[in-house]
Structure 1
């Protein structure tokens, strides 16, 4: 079975999908991944480690942020050529551009695909044309999607929160399994840590907080 993963950076692929790649390869699957062609040492080092996981990499130009129509059309064409050539049995995408353009390509080629939302992304940090465009495109991508056991996931989160009545808000990480939804972890009393504040604060929507602390 051939599996293709489309992502927006090799470092993220290694960290968050490395175990998946290794398990797929271990089970005898042919694993491919499309990564951006970047002149970055960290990215290049990550690519070398991913190759050792028996994952074949395809590097294509990609503007990770921004929505330049010409560049994005070129990106979608590049996705199309790769997917048509490989003819994977399943395509896995995550982050905004792979989700949107990967979805469009797979629909045209009638190839099964799985879309993952790993976060809203910087496009949602400010109101404007870009944000509305991404929202509208995501509506098209998820038009016929339905999260299985979503009501059950809501209910167990609500019931579990009753045991922590003194905590104002809890973010539950829930996995949907064949046996039903299960908890992975919980995050409570949200706050901005020093590490978060130092890691691209403006792009992560923390500008107001930092301005108040001046």
Structure 2
């Protein structure tokens, strides 16, 4: 039985397009992989705190004395990284907020980016330790960024997520994108129609993925 981790980060609740897309992706994946076990993480409702001196306990040497606060924060980080490492598939809802990802999603990434767990350093540079997973990102955007060099230079959402998951050793990173959502009803309808087709495509095995979908 494979394990799928479903993550939402949008603060818009029922009005969120990224949440709509992640739900569709998970349903589509389960239709093609009925034995999949799904766990859910809503970062808008239950986000870890941002990194601080107290929440860096997971970076201290084993056996180091920790305060009660550090122990509590370390338990949060341990639970999140263990959940991530146990998953075979991760579906991430990632709306574009101010040219980047939601701060809640960044806080989660900072907790799972742990030396010795998701990556390590060697004399030849960093090596990812979380390879073999599939990550599917539901990317939602009010404007259009994918069709011009200027737009691509402005977005630090998809580019960042592809980089950070790649740093963890994950090479199968797929994107379902809905952009232009704030540019009128017609543009939004077209974006959702295009995204619906992409949702059906990403549930296929990696070998069957269109190159544009994987490299988006």
Shorter chain as denominator, the TM-score bin is 0.3 to 0.5
Name the TM-score, length of structure 1 as normaliser: 0.37
Q: Which has the higher helix share?
A: 1
Name the TM-score, length of structure 2 as normaliser: 0.37
Of structures 1 and 2, the one scoring higher in RCO (CA 8 A, sep 6+) is 2
